[in-house]
Amino acid sequence: MHEMSLAESIVQIVEDTARANGGGRVSRVLLEVGRLAGVEIEALRFCFDAASRTSLAEGAALDIEEPDGQAWCLPCGESVTFSGLTDACPHCGSYQLQVTGGTQLKVREIEMY
Amino acid sequence: MCTTCGCGTDHVHIDGVGHALARGAQAPLTGQEQFAPAGNALPEPAIGAAGVHAHGTTAARIVQVERDLLAANDAWARRNRERFAAAGTLCLNLVSSPGSGKTTLLVRTVADLARRRTVAVVEGDQQTSNDADRIRATGVPAVQVNTGKGCHLEAPMVARALDGLPLAAGGVLFIENVGNLVCPALFDLGEAHKVAILSVTEGEDKPLKYPDMFRAADLVLINKVDLLPFLDFDIDLCEANARRVNPRVEVLRVSARSGEGFAAWLGWIERRAGTRRPVPSSGRDEARP
Protein backbone atom coordinates (compact mmCIF):
# COMPACT_ATOMS: atom_id res chain seq x y z
CA MET A 1 0.00 0.00 0.00
CA HIS A 2 2.56 2.60 -1.02
CA GLU A 3 -0.47 4.35 -2.52
CA MET A 4 -1.10 5.88 0.93
CA SER A 5 2.34 7.56 0.85
CA LEU A 6 1.61 8.79 -2.66
CA ALA A 7 -1.83 10.07 -1.63
CA GLU A 8 -0.23 12.01 1.24
CA SER A 9 2.23 13.53 -1.26
CA ILE A 10 -0.66 14.54 -3.52
CA VAL A 11 -2.48 16.23 -0.63
CA GLN A 12 0.73 18.01 0.41
CA ILE A 13 1.39 19.30 -3.13
CA VAL A 14 -2.26 20.32 -3.61
CA GLU A 15 -2.40 22.14 -0.25
CA ASP A 16 0.90 23.95 -0.92
CA THR A 17 -0.35 25.04 -4.34
CA ALA A 18 -3.79 26.08 -3.07
CA ARG A 19 -2.30 28.15 -0.23
CA ALA A 20 0.13 29.83 -2.61
CA ASN A 21 -2.88 30.79 -4.75
CA GLY A 22 -5.19 32.29 -2.16
CA GLY A 23 -6.14 29.29 -0.04
CA GLY A 24 -9.47 28.43 -1.69
CA ARG A 25 -11.12 25.02 -1.77
CA VAL A 26 -9.89 22.61 -4.40
CA SER A 27 -12.60 21.01 -6.54
CA ARG A 28 -10.56 18.89 -8.91
CA VAL A 29 -7.05 17.44 -9.08
CA LEU A 30 -5.54 16.23 -12.34
CA LEU A 31 -2.86 13.56 -12.01
CA GLU A 32 -0.65 11.84 -14.53
CA VAL A 33 0.10 8.24 -13.58
CA GLY A 34 1.94 6.24 -16.22
CA ARG A 35 0.89 2.63 -16.74
CA LEU A 36 4.39 1.50 -15.74
CA ALA A 37 4.50 3.62 -12.56
CA GLY A 38 3.64 0.66 -10.33
CA VAL A 39 0.52 2.29 -8.94
CA GLU A 40 -2.87 0.66 -8.38
CA ILE A 41 -5.31 3.37 -9.42
CA GLU A 42 -8.24 2.11 -7.34
CA ALA A 43 -6.06 2.01 -4.23
CA LEU A 44 -4.76 5.50 -4.96
CA ARG A 45 -8.32 6.87 -5.21
CA PHE A 46 -9.28 5.19 -1.96
CA CYS A 47 -6.22 6.55 -0.18
CA PHE A 48 -6.67 10.04 -1.60
CA ASP A 49 -10.15 10.27 -0.15
CA ALA A 50 -8.80 9.24 3.25
CA ALA A 51 -5.68 11.42 3.12
CA SER A 52 -7.51 14.55 1.90
CA ARG A 53 -10.02 14.73 4.79
CA THR A 54 -9.89 18.06 6.63
CA SER A 55 -7.53 19.43 3.94
CA LEU A 56 -8.30 21.98 1.22
CA ALA A 57 -8.54 19.00 -1.15
CA GLU A 58 -11.32 17.27 0.78
CA GLY A 59 -14.04 16.11 -1.57
CA ALA A 60 -12.08 17.10 -4.66
CA ALA A 61 -12.59 14.96 -7.75
CA LEU A 62 -9.51 13.06 -8.83
CA ASP A 63 -8.96 12.94 -12.61
CA ILE A 64 -6.21 10.57 -13.66
CA GLU A 65 -4.49 10.42 -17.03
CA GLU A 66 -2.77 7.09 -17.62
CA PRO A 67 -0.24 7.33 -20.45
CA ASP A 68 0.90 4.02 -21.98
CA GLY A 69 4.37 2.63 -21.49
CA GLN A 70 6.98 3.53 -24.11
CA ALA A 71 10.07 1.49 -24.79
CA TRP A 72 12.94 1.27 -27.22
CA CYS A 73 12.99 -2.20 -28.80
CA LEU A 74 16.61 -3.22 -29.41
CA PRO A 75 15.95 -5.80 -32.20
CA CYS A 76 13.45 -3.53 -34.02
CA GLY A 77 15.52 -0.38 -33.44
CA GLU A 78 12.40 1.66 -32.88
CA SER A 79 10.13 3.03 -30.18
CA VAL A 80 7.09 0.90 -29.27
CA THR A 81 4.05 1.31 -27.03
CA PHE A 82 3.11 -1.32 -24.46
CA SER A 83 1.08 -1.49 -21.26
CA GLY A 84 2.86 -3.91 -18.92
CA LEU A 85 6.43 -4.71 -17.92
CA THR A 86 6.00 -8.37 -18.84
CA ASP A 87 4.74 -7.56 -22.35
CA ALA A 88 6.83 -8.38 -25.41
CA CYS A 89 7.46 -6.02 -28.31
CA PRO A 90 4.17 -5.91 -30.28
CA HIS A 91 6.15 -6.11 -33.56
CA CYS A 92 8.88 -8.72 -33.06
CA GLY A 93 7.97 -10.49 -29.79
CA SER A 94 11.29 -9.65 -28.15
CA TYR A 95 11.64 -8.76 -24.46
CA GLN A 96 14.71 -6.65 -25.12
CA LEU A 97 12.83 -3.49 -24.31
CA GLN A 98 14.33 -0.45 -22.66
CA VAL A 99 11.60 1.56 -20.97
CA THR A 100 11.61 5.20 -22.05
CA GLY A 101 8.23 6.44 -20.81
CA GLY A 102 5.08 5.61 -18.86
CA THR A 103 6.61 5.77 -15.38
CA GLN A 104 5.63 9.38 -14.65
CA LEU A 105 3.81 10.16 -11.43
CA LYS A 106 2.80 13.76 -10.95
CA VAL A 107 0.18 16.36 -10.13
CA ARG A 108 -0.53 18.20 -13.41
CA GLU A 109 -3.04 20.83 -12.32
CA ILE A 110 -5.71 21.67 -9.80
CA GLU A 111 -9.06 23.41 -10.15
CA MET A 112 -9.92 25.72 -7.26
CA TYR A 113 -12.32 28.42 -6.18
CA MET B 1 -25.51 16.59 -6.57
CA CYS B 2 -25.13 19.86 -4.74
CA THR B 3 -26.09 19.32 -1.12
CA THR B 4 -26.99 22.99 -0.67
CA CYS B 5 -29.70 23.27 -3.29
CA GLY B 6 -30.12 19.84 -4.84
CA CYS B 7 -29.08 20.97 -8.31
CA GLY B 8 -26.94 18.88 -10.61
CA THR B 9 -27.15 15.37 -11.95
CA ASP B 10 -29.92 12.95 -11.01
CA HIS B 11 -27.63 10.24 -9.77
CA VAL B 12 -24.37 10.11 -7.92
CA HIS B 13 -21.56 9.14 -10.26
CA ILE B 14 -19.21 6.81 -8.49
CA ASP B 15 -15.76 6.36 -9.93
CA GLY B 16 -14.16 3.82 -7.65
CA VAL B 17 -14.49 2.68 -4.09
CA GLY B 18 -12.99 5.81 -2.58
CA HIS B 19 -15.68 8.04 -3.96
CA ALA B 20 -18.37 5.68 -2.78
CA LEU B 21 -17.09 6.16 0.75
CA ALA B 22 -16.41 9.86 0.50
CA ARG B 23 -19.74 10.79 -0.97
CA GLY B 24 -21.71 8.27 1.06
CA ALA B 25 -22.47 10.62 3.93
CA GLN B 26 -23.66 13.43 1.68
CA ALA B 27 -25.63 11.46 -0.90
CA PRO B 28 -26.83 8.08 0.38
CA LEU B 29 -26.55 5.34 -2.20
CA THR B 30 -29.79 4.60 -4.04
CA GLY B 31 -28.84 1.52 -5.99
CA GLN B 32 -29.12 3.51 -9.23
CA GLU B 33 -25.46 4.52 -9.34
CA GLN B 34 -23.42 3.90 -12.45
CA PHE B 35 -20.09 2.28 -11.80
CA ALA B 36 -17.32 3.09 -14.23
CA PRO B 37 -13.90 1.49 -14.52
CA ALA B 38 -11.13 3.57 -13.00
CA GLY B 39 -9.42 5.98 -15.32
CA ASN B 40 -12.06 6.03 -18.02
CA ALA B 41 -15.15 8.03 -17.16
CA LEU B 42 -14.21 11.00 -15.03
CA PRO B 43 -16.18 12.32 -12.08
CA GLU B 44 -18.61 15.19 -12.66
CA PRO B 45 -16.61 18.39 -12.30
CA ALA B 46 -19.87 20.21 -11.47
CA ILE B 47 -19.65 18.87 -7.92
CA GLY B 48 -17.43 21.19 -5.96
CA ALA B 49 -15.51 20.75 -2.77
CA ALA B 50 -17.34 18.44 -0.35
CA GLY B 51 -20.31 18.31 -2.72
CA VAL B 52 -21.23 21.97 -2.18
CA HIS B 53 -20.86 24.96 -4.42
CA ALA B 54 -21.99 28.54 -4.00
CA HIS B 55 -24.10 29.99 -6.78
CA GLY B 56 -23.05 33.30 -8.32
CA THR B 57 -19.61 33.34 -6.75
CA THR B 58 -16.20 33.20 -8.39
CA ALA B 59 -15.82 30.58 -11.08
CA ALA B 60 -13.31 27.80 -10.69
CA ARG B 61 -9.83 28.48 -11.98
CA ILE B 62 -7.14 26.09 -13.07
CA VAL B 63 -3.69 26.25 -11.50
CA GLN B 64 -0.86 24.45 -13.30
CA VAL B 65 1.23 22.38 -10.88
CA GLU B 66 3.43 19.84 -12.74
CA ARG B 67 5.05 18.47 -9.59
CA ASP B 68 6.38 14.96 -9.19
CA LEU B 69 4.73 12.94 -6.40
CA LEU B 70 8.03 11.43 -5.36
CA ALA B 71 9.91 14.75 -5.45
CA ALA B 72 10.21 15.01 -1.65
CA ASN B 73 11.48 11.44 -1.28
CA ASP B 74 13.82 11.86 -4.23
CA ALA B 75 15.32 15.03 -2.74
CA TRP B 76 16.15 13.10 0.46
CA ALA B 77 17.51 10.23 -1.63
CA ARG B 78 19.77 12.68 -3.45
CA ARG B 79 21.04 13.99 -0.11
CA ASN B 80 21.73 10.42 1.09
CA ARG B 81 23.54 9.63 -2.17
CA GLU B 82 25.73 12.72 -1.79
CA ARG B 83 26.49 11.68 1.76
CA PHE B 84 27.57 8.18 0.63
CA ALA B 85 29.68 9.68 -2.15
CA ALA B 86 31.38 12.13 0.25
CA ALA B 87 32.18 9.28 2.64
CA GLY B 88 33.23 6.86 -0.12
CA THR B 89 30.68 4.26 1.05
CA LEU B 90 28.87 1.83 -1.25
CA CYS B 91 25.16 1.60 -0.39
CA LEU B 92 23.13 -1.46 -1.39
CA ASN B 93 19.35 -1.70 -0.93
CA LEU B 94 18.28 -5.33 -0.41
CA VAL B 95 14.70 -6.12 -1.37
CA SER B 96 12.72 -9.36 -1.33
CA SER B 97 9.56 -11.06 -0.16
CA PRO B 98 9.40 -12.03 3.51
CA GLY B 99 11.15 -15.36 4.09
CA SER B 100 13.62 -15.32 1.18
CA GLY B 101 16.51 -15.58 3.65
CA LYS B 102 17.52 -11.94 3.35
CA THR B 103 18.72 -11.54 6.94
CA THR B 104 20.59 -14.86 7.01
CA LEU B 105 22.27 -13.87 3.75
CA LEU B 106 23.15 -10.49 5.18
CA VAL B 107 24.57 -11.95 8.41
CA ARG B 108 26.92 -14.20 6.43
CA THR B 109 27.84 -11.35 4.07
CA VAL B 110 28.67 -8.76 6.73
CA ALA B 111 30.57 -11.28 8.86
CA ASP B 112 32.93 -11.81 5.92
CA LEU B 113 33.13 -8.22 4.65
CA ALA B 114 33.66 -6.69 8.09
CA ARG B 115 37.08 -8.37 8.25
CA ARG B 116 38.24 -6.06 5.46
CA ARG B 117 35.88 -3.10 5.39
CA THR B 118 33.75 -0.81 7.54
CA VAL B 119 30.28 -2.32 7.29
CA ALA B 120 26.97 -1.08 8.67
CA VAL B 121 23.34 -2.08 8.28
CA VAL B 122 19.98 -0.31 8.31
CA GLU B 123 17.23 -2.83 9.05
CA GLY B 124 13.66 -2.07 7.97
CA ASP B 125 10.74 -4.02 9.41
CA GLN B 126 7.22 -3.15 10.46
CA GLN B 127 7.87 -4.33 14.02
CA THR B 128 10.59 -5.81 16.29
CA SER B 129 14.34 -5.30 16.39
CA ASN B 130 15.06 -9.02 15.84
CA ASP B 131 16.93 -8.47 12.58
CA ALA B 132 19.14 -5.67 13.91
CA ASP B 133 19.91 -7.90 16.91
CA ARG B 134 21.02 -10.70 14.56
CA ILE B 135 23.32 -8.29 12.70
CA ARG B 136 24.77 -6.79 15.91
CA ALA B 137 25.59 -10.32 17.13
CA THR B 138 28.24 -10.40 14.36
CA GLY B 139 29.81 -7.21 15.76
CA VAL B 140 28.57 -5.05 12.88
CA PRO B 141 26.62 -1.90 13.88
CA ALA B 142 22.97 -1.87 12.86
CA VAL B 143 20.06 0.53 13.23
CA GLN B 144 16.53 -0.83 13.18
CA VAL B 145 13.84 1.27 11.53
CA ASN B 146 10.32 0.14 12.42
CA THR B 147 7.89 1.45 9.84
CA GLY B 148 4.79 0.59 11.92
CA LYS B 149 1.99 0.28 9.38
CA GLY B 150 4.33 1.29 6.54
CA CYS B 151 5.20 -1.24 3.86
CA HIS B 152 8.53 0.20 2.68
CA LEU B 153 11.43 2.40 3.74
CA GLU B 154 11.54 5.99 2.52
CA ALA B 155 14.64 8.12 2.03
CA PRO B 156 14.15 10.42 5.09
CA MET B 157 13.96 7.32 7.38
CA VAL B 158 17.33 6.20 6.05
CA ALA B 159 18.75 9.71 6.49
CA ARG B 160 17.83 9.62 10.18
CA ALA B 161 19.22 6.12 10.62
CA LEU B 162 22.58 7.16 9.12
CA ASP B 163 23.30 9.46 12.04
CA GLY B 164 24.00 6.46 14.24
CA LEU B 165 26.18 4.51 11.80
CA PRO B 166 29.80 4.63 10.64
CA LEU B 167 30.29 5.59 6.99
CA ALA B 168 33.90 5.20 5.89
CA ALA B 169 35.93 5.30 2.71
CA GLY B 170 35.74 1.85 1.16
CA GLY B 171 32.88 0.96 3.50
CA VAL B 172 29.63 -0.77 2.63
CA LEU B 173 26.20 0.15 3.98
CA PHE B 174 23.45 -2.41 3.53
CA ILE B 175 19.81 -1.40 3.77
CA GLU B 176 17.53 -4.36 4.36
CA ASN B 177 14.18 -3.09 3.15
CA VAL B 178 10.81 -4.25 4.50
CA GLY B 179 9.98 -7.70 3.10
CA ASN B 180 7.74 -6.70 0.22
CA LEU B 181 8.23 -7.04 -3.52
CA VAL B 182 5.84 -4.25 -4.49
CA CYS B 183 6.20 -0.94 -2.69
CA PRO B 184 9.99 -0.63 -2.13
CA ALA B 185 10.47 -0.65 -5.93
CA LEU B 186 9.20 2.90 -6.15
CA PHE B 187 11.20 4.57 -3.39
CA ASP B 188 14.79 5.59 -4.07
CA LEU B 189 16.75 5.58 -0.81
CA GLY B 190 19.99 6.93 -2.30
CA GLU B 191 21.49 3.47 -2.87
CA ALA B 192 23.97 2.65 -5.62
CA HIS B 193 22.11 -0.56 -6.49
CA LYS B 194 18.97 -2.42 -5.57
CA VAL B 195 19.65 -6.13 -5.02
CA ALA B 196 16.56 -8.38 -5.26
CA ILE B 197 16.67 -11.68 -3.41
CA LEU B 198 14.48 -14.58 -4.43
CA SER B 199 14.66 -18.07 -2.96
CA VAL B 200 14.15 -21.41 -4.69
CA THR B 201 11.24 -22.21 -2.36
CA GLU B 202 9.27 -19.46 -4.13
CA GLY B 203 7.96 -19.67 -7.72
CA GLU B 204 10.08 -19.37 -10.88
CA ASP B 205 7.55 -16.84 -12.14
CA LYS B 206 8.07 -14.36 -9.30
CA PRO B 207 9.91 -11.90 -11.59
CA LEU B 208 6.86 -11.93 -13.88
CA LYS B 209 4.46 -11.45 -10.98
CA TYR B 210 6.43 -8.53 -9.51
CA PRO B 211 8.06 -6.98 -12.57
CA ASP B 212 8.47 -3.49 -11.08
CA MET B 213 10.89 -4.76 -8.46
CA PHE B 214 12.89 -6.97 -10.79
CA ARG B 215 13.14 -4.15 -13.29
CA ALA B 216 14.41 -1.79 -10.56
CA ALA B 217 17.11 -4.25 -9.43
CA ASP B 218 20.65 -4.39 -10.86
CA LEU B 219 21.38 -7.79 -9.33
CA VAL B 220 19.17 -10.77 -8.49
CA LEU B 221 20.41 -13.30 -5.94
CA ILE B 222 18.66 -16.67 -6.15
CA ASN B 223 19.07 -17.93 -2.59
CA LYS B 224 18.74 -21.35 -0.87
CA VAL B 225 20.20 -23.24 -3.86
CA ASP B 226 21.29 -25.97 -1.40
CA LEU B 227 17.60 -26.98 -1.38
CA LEU B 228 17.41 -27.51 -5.17
CA PRO B 229 17.76 -31.33 -5.01
CA PHE B 230 14.55 -31.49 -2.97
CA LEU B 231 12.46 -29.18 -5.14
CA ASP B 232 11.01 -28.97 -8.65
CA PHE B 233 12.29 -25.42 -9.05
CA ASP B 234 13.54 -24.67 -12.60
CA ILE B 235 16.34 -22.22 -11.84
CA ASP B 236 17.15 -21.57 -15.53
CA LEU B 237 13.52 -20.61 -16.14
CA CYS B 238 13.66 -18.30 -13.11
CA GLU B 239 16.75 -16.57 -14.51
CA ALA B 240 15.11 -16.26 -17.93
CA ASN B 241 12.04 -14.69 -16.32
CA ALA B 242 14.20 -12.14 -14.49
CA ARG B 243 15.91 -11.20 -17.78
CA ARG B 244 12.54 -11.01 -19.50
CA VAL B 245 11.49 -8.07 -17.31
CA ASN B 246 15.03 -6.67 -17.05
CA PRO B 247 17.33 -7.61 -19.96
CA ARG B 248 20.38 -6.06 -18.28
CA VAL B 249 20.03 -7.64 -14.82
CA GLU B 250 22.84 -9.78 -13.38
CA VAL B 251 21.88 -13.05 -11.65
CA LEU B 252 23.90 -15.01 -9.07
CA ARG B 253 22.97 -18.33 -7.45
CA VAL B 254 23.79 -18.52 -3.74
CA SER B 255 23.11 -20.34 -0.51
CA ALA B 256 23.36 -18.32 2.67
CA ARG B 257 23.36 -21.61 4.59
CA SER B 258 26.15 -23.48 2.79
CA GLY B 259 28.05 -20.48 1.44
CA GLU B 260 27.73 -21.72 -2.15
CA GLY B 261 28.06 -18.84 -4.63
CA PHE B 262 29.27 -16.42 -1.95
CA ALA B 263 32.65 -15.88 -3.60
CA ALA B 264 30.85 -14.46 -6.64
CA TRP B 265 28.50 -12.32 -4.51
CA LEU B 266 31.32 -10.94 -2.35
CA GLY B 267 33.36 -10.34 -5.50
CA TRP B 268 30.44 -8.39 -6.99
CA ILE B 269 30.48 -6.12 -3.90
CA GLU B 270 34.29 -5.80 -3.84
CA ARG B 271 34.35 -4.61 -7.46
CA ARG B 272 31.94 -1.80 -6.61
CA ALA B 273 33.18 -0.76 -3.18
CA GLY B 274 35.68 2.07 -3.06
CA THR B 275 39.29 2.03 -1.95
CA ARG B 276 39.52 1.48 1.76
CA ARG B 277 41.62 3.44 4.20
CA PRO B 278 44.56 1.70 5.82
CA VAL B 279 43.27 2.32 9.36
CA PRO B 280 39.52 2.02 9.91
CA SER B 281 38.10 5.05 11.71
CA SER B 282 34.82 5.45 13.57
CA GLY B 283 33.70 7.52 10.59
CA ARG B 284 30.67 9.00 12.32
CA ASP B 285 31.24 12.51 11.18
CA GLU B 286 32.84 11.75 7.85
CA ALA B 287 29.65 12.28 5.93
CA ARG B 288 29.27 15.76 7.30
CA PRO B 289 30.84 18.32 4.99
Q: Is B151 on the interface with A (CB under 8 A)?
A: yes
Between CA B197 and CA B219 the distance in angstroms is: 9
Q: Give me the mean pLDDT over the B196-223 stretch.
A: 94
Chain A nearest CA to B90, separation (Å)? 26
Length of chain A (residues): 113
**Which tens digit of pLDDT belongs to each residue from B42-71?**
333 333 344 444 444 567 899 999 999 999
Please tell me which residue, B129 or B228, carries the higher pLDDT value.
Answer: B228
Give the pLDDT band of residue B125 (cuts 50, 70, 90): confident
Return the sign of the alpha-carbon dihedral for residues B194, B241, A86, B250.
positive
Residues in B 87-126 with any Cβ partner in A closer than 8 A:
none
Length of chain B (residues): 289
Q: Give me the mean pLDDT over the A85-101 stretch.
A: 85
Residues in B 185-244 with any Cβ partner in A closer than 8 A:
185-187, 208, 211-212, 215, 243-244
Nearest CB neighbour to A109, from listed B19, B63, B212: B63
- Looking at residue B274, its pLDDT comes to 80
Q: Give me the mean pLDDT over the A97-107 stretch.
A: 90
Please tell me which residue, B109 or B49, carries the higher pLDDT value.
Answer: B109
Please tell me which residue, B250 or A95, carries the higher pLDDT value.
Answer: B250
pLDDT at B120 over 50: yes
Q: Which residues pair with B204 in a beta bridge?
A: none
Q: Is B150 helix (H, G, I), strand (E, B) or coil?
A: coil
Q: Give me the mean pLDDT over the B75-97 stretch.
A: 96
Taking chain A, what is the end-to-end CA distance rounded to the nearest angstrom? 32
User: Do the Cβ atoms of A102 and A14 come closer than 8 Å?
Assistant: no
- Looking at residue A109, its pLDDT comes to 96
Q: Is B47 on the interface with A (CB under 8 A)?
A: yes
Chain B nearest CA to A45, separation (Å)? 5
Q: Which chain B residues contact residue A26 at CB under 8 A?
A: 49
pLDDT at B18 over 60: no
- Looking at residue A11, its pLDDT comes to 96
Does an H or E element contain B251, and which?
A: strand B250-253
Between CA B251 and CA B238 the distance in angstroms is: 10
Chain B nearest CA to A14, separation (Å)? 8
Rounded (10°) angle between helices A3-20 and A41-51: 50
Q: Give me the mean pLDDT over the A18-40 stretch.
A: 93
- Looking at residue B242, its pLDDT comes to 95
- Dihedral of CA atoms A54, B12, A40, A43 in degrees, nearest 10, equals 40
Report CB contact under 8 Å: A95, B244.
yes
Between CA B289 and CA B283 the distance in angstroms is: 13
Q: Which residues pair with B122 in a beta bridge?
A: B143, B175
